[in-house]
């Protein structure tokens, strides 16, 4: 076992030549290091997202990759809904109102009535494991569900819209559940946010790099976008000053997949993949199939 | 049409004798006034809850009652989930952490990992229209659902537990979706809260009078109860000072059923019931059937 400190200190070519398994997060990947590991057989990633991992490079060299895909899809979808409902129902404002003594007698209570969620439109970008869990929850909340992704899914029980722009135009709530890959960087740009519009809200709980965050903040501040729920950011931790005057958004510190159970499952699956690689068995969760 | 001010000022017996229809909320009901209305045919209530209305008195006198039951069951269940997820996912603490610059680099983020909702137990008190909507949402969030109510429902798709105490003992989240009637006052007492316990949370979004609120605050402050989400209170507006030092709860000012659409539906239904009563047609939403 070689730890991050030893890697940082530099390792002899002999040691590097003996490395067969690399354990990593999907957000950090050093191709120069991989180039120095001629015996590498497996990159065992303990996260679901693999945005920094050069999959082409691994495939070319016949190096296998395992991820935590699917382990915490339920948890991530639950966080998406926690943020969405908090924004839609003004949970933070309501709690502050009651605690600050601002609740007035009468029918208006100091908050404007919200629109009913029933019949509103949930647009899901990416109908993979997480997107499907989001869809199940949206349907149970009596929302109308459509989705977009680059590939048709003939078995999908929801209608696929022709483009991301068309989905944003249609949706009241846009959920970003797509892969955090390099080609998706910045896909939620100003024109997508404009299509979602002043009554729409965007929920991001996969990777910050999917969104033009500066355009997002401008759209929230101008009212051009109705609201947002964000568990992920372009840089993490995000600079609190960036969000100081940004209204109509609920923020959380990248905790969507971070449950007690998911932690155990992710590391259990990682250990099992490493064990199987060492003993020459078939991997539990191979990425390349 | 006679308004509240004229009633407060006092009305002549002649005017009172001519009143056939009374429009009211379910939280206010004056039996002395009803006694002075010999021609009363209909009490048209624009709320779902009818906790103050003396149904026995109305039935004895053959006075009909209409309510808004069912109009906003979806909205109320959505608010129940907004509060439950806000408490379960620490949405308020997470937002404050990010905005105050407390998000630290690394895996722990300054918040303890939450338990996964998947497989946790949703106990629903009362499986009427609202309780059923709560159950649908809980099932979509991969929770295990059981319920209790005084009457068996042979067609219910969820298991009925033998008693309220047994449901609280079993549940991780207890949703109060039962009728706000006099016999249910204080049903959520100290022993029910103790059965729910330090890892359990209670969500109340129907009527404050269901809960021994002083026992609830004590249980939250001692940690004997894990958490709460409250849209309703014993007195409304609730005194902010009562909640000042009470941890692990998310509060909202009785807005569960308060959507733009429900308001229109409630008053539309009320107008239609009044119109039908005047023209001698069958009522749209009769309470006594």
Q: Which of B102, B255, B260, B266 should we substitute to test contact with A (largest number of A Cβ atoms within 10 Å)?
A: B255
What is the nearest CA distance from B237 to chain A, expressed in angstroms? 6
Under the banding of pLDDT at 50, 70 and 90, the label for residue B107 is low
Catalytically active residues of A, by annotation: 207, 236, 254
Query: CB–CB of B258 and A109 under 8 A?
Result: yes
Rg (C-alpha) for chain B, rounded Å, is 22
Residue in B with minimal Cα distance to A132: B140
Residues 8-67, chain A, touching B (beta carbon < 8 A): none
Segment A189-218 mean pLDDT: 97
Residue in A with minimal Cα distance to B72: A116
What's residue A26's pLDDT?
85
What's residue A179's pLDDT?
80
Query: CB–CB of B88 and A82 under 8 A?
Result: yes
Partnered with residue B42 across adjacent β-strands are B21, B64
List CB contacts (< 8 A) between A263 and chain B. Answer: 113
Segment B251-280 mean pLDDT: 92
Whether the pLDDT of residue B109 is over 70: the answer is no
Under the banding of pLDDT at 50, 70 and 90, the label for residue B4 is confident
Of A165-169, A179-183, B172-176, minimum mean pLDDT range? A179-183
Under the banding of pLDDT at 50, 70 and 90, the label for residue B242 is very high
Q: What is the pLDDT of residues A240-273, one digit of tens each?
A: 999 999 999 999 999 999 899 988 888 899 999 9
Identical topology for domains A4-70+259-278 and A73-251: yes
Q: Which of B84, B99, B266 should we substitute to test contact with A (largest number of A Cβ atoms within 10 Å)?
A: B99
Whether the pLDDT of residue A280 is over 60: the answer is yes
Whether the pLDDT of residue B67 is over 60: the answer is yes
**Chain B interface includes A94 (CB < 8 A):** yes
Q: What is the pLDDT of residues A4-17, one digit of tens each?
A: 777 777 788 888 99
Query: CB–CB of B115 and A260 under 8 A?
Result: yes
List CB contacts (< 8 A) between B104 and chain A. Answer: 237
Choose the CATH number for A73-251 among 3.40.50.720, 3.60.21.10, 3.40.50.300, 3.40.50.150. 3.40.50.720
DSSP chain A: ---HHHHHH---HHHHHH--EEEE-TT---HHHHHT-TT--EEEE-SS--TT--HHHHHHHT-EEE--TTTTHHHHHHHHHHHHHHHHTTHHHHHHHHHTT---SSSSTTSPPBPPSTT-EEEEE--SHHHHHHHHHHHHTT-EEEEE-SS--TT-SSEEPS-HHHHHHH-SEEEE-S---GGGTT-B-HHHHHHH-TT-EEEE-S-GGGB-HHHHHHHHHHTSS-EEEES--SSSSPPGGGGTT--SEEE--S-TT-BHHHHHHHHHHHHHHHHHHHTTPPPSSBS--
List CB contacts (< 8 A) between B213 and chain A. Answer: none
Q: What is the pLDDT of residues B195-230, one digit of tens each?
A: 999 999 999 999 999 999 999 999 999 999 999 999
Q: What is the pLDDT of residues B9-31, one digit of tens each?
A: 778 888 899 999 999 988 888 88
User: Count of A–B CB contacts within 8 Å?
Assistant: 196
Distance CA B221, CA B227 (A): 10
Which tokens sit at A108? Answer: 């208006």
Under the banding of pLDDT at 50, 70 and 90, the label for residue A58 is very high
List CB contacts (< 8 A) between B236 and chain A. Answer: 103, 105
**Chain A interface includes B246 (CB < 8 A):** no
Collect all residues with Cβ–Cβ distance below 8 Å to B35 and sequence separation of at least 6. none
Of A60-69, A98-107, A154-163, B58-67, minimum mean pLDDT range? A98-107
Whether the pLDDT of residue A213 is over 80: the answer is yes
What's residue A237's pLDDT?
94
**Chain B interface includes A75 (CB < 8 A):** yes
Which tokens sit at A208? Answer: 């910050």
Domain range summary for chain A, segments of one domain joined by +:
4-70+259-278, 73-251
- Strand pairing report for A121-125 and A173-176: parallel
**Chain B interface includes A81 (CB < 8 A):** yes
Rg (C-alpha) for chain A, rounded Å, is 22
Residue in B with minimal Cα distance to A86: B82
Q: What is the pLDDT of residues A68-113, one digit of tens each?
A: 877 889 999 999 999 999 999 999 999 999 999 999 876 556 788 9
Catalytic residue check, B160: no
List CB contacts (< 8 A) between B208 and chain A. Answer: none
Residue in A with minimal Cα distance to B143: A74
What value of ipTM does the predicted structure carry? 0.88
Catalytic residue check, B133: no
Query: CB–CB of A91 and B89 under 8 A?
Result: no
**Chain A interface includes B260 (CB < 8 A):** yes
Segment A147-151 mean pLDDT: 95
**Chain B interface includes A243 (CB < 8 A):** yes
List CB contacts (< 8 A) between A267 and chain B. Answer: none
State whether residue B246 is helix, strand or coil: coil
Under the banding of pLDDT at 50, 70 and 90, the label for residue B108 is low
What is the nearest CA distance from B89 to chain A, expressed in angstroms? 7
List CB contacts (< 8 A) between B241 and chain A. Answer: 101
At the fourth CATH level, the homologous superfamily of domain A4-70+259-278 is NAD(P)-binding Rossmann-like Domain (3.40.50.720)
What is the nearest CA distance from B182 to chain A, expressed in angstroms? 23
- Maximum distance among all Cα pairs of chain A, rounded to whole angstroms: 77
What's residue A5's pLDDT?
78
Q: Does residue B172 contact residue B120 with C-beta atoms inside 8 Å?
A: yes
Q: Round the average pLDDT of chain B to a whole number and report it.
A: 93
Q: Which of A145, A237, A262 should we substitute to test contact with B (largest number of B Cβ atoms within 10 Å)?
A: A237
State whether residue B220 is helix, strand or coil: helix
**Out of B240, B254, B259, whose CB is closest to A114?**
B259
Sheet with B121-125, strands from edge to edge, namely B159-160, B144-148, B121-125, B173-176, B201-204, B227-230, B249-251
Of A29-33, B152-156, B157-161, minimum mean pLDDT range? A29-33
Query: CB–CB of B95 and A251 under 8 A?
Result: yes
**Chain B interface includes A251 (CB < 8 A):** yes
Query: CB–CB of B81 and A85 under 8 A?
Result: yes
């Amino acid at each position: 076992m070689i730890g991050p400190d030893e890697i940082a200190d530099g390792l002899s070519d002999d040691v590097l030549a003996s490395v067969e398994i690399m354990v990593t997060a999907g957000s950090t990947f050093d191709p120069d290091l991989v180039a120095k590991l001629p015996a590498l057989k497996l990159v065992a990633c303990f996260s679901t997202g693999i945005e920094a991992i050069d999959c082409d490079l691994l495939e070319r060299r016949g190096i296998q990759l395992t991820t935590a895909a699917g382990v915490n899809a339920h948890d991530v979808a639950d966080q998406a809904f926690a943020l969405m409902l908090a924004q839609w129902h003004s949970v933070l404002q309501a709690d502050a109102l009651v605690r600050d003594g601002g609740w007035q007698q009468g029918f208006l209570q100091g908050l404007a009535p919200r629109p009913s969620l029933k019949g509103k439109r949930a647009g899901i970008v990416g109908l993979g494991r997480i997107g499907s869990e989001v869809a199940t929850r949206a349907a149970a909340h009596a929302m109308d569900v459509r989705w977009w992704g680059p590939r048709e899914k003939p078995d999908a029980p929801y209608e696929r819209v022709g483009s991301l722009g068309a989905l944003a135009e249609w949706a009241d709530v846009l959920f970003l559940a797509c892969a955090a890959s390099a080609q998706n960087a910045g896909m939620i740009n100003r024109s997508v946010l404009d299509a979602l519009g002043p009554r729409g809200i965007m929920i991001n709980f996969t990777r910050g790099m999917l969104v033009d965050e500066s355009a997002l903040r401008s759209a929230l501040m101008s009212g051009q976008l109705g609201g947002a729920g964000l568990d992920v950011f372009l840089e993490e931790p995000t600079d609190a000053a960036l969000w100081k005057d940004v209204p109509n958004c609920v923020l959380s510190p990248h905790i969507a997949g971070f449950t007690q159970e998911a932690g155990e499952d992710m590391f259990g699956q990682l250990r099992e993949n490493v064990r199987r690689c060492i003993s020459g068995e078939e991997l539990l969760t191979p990425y390349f199939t």
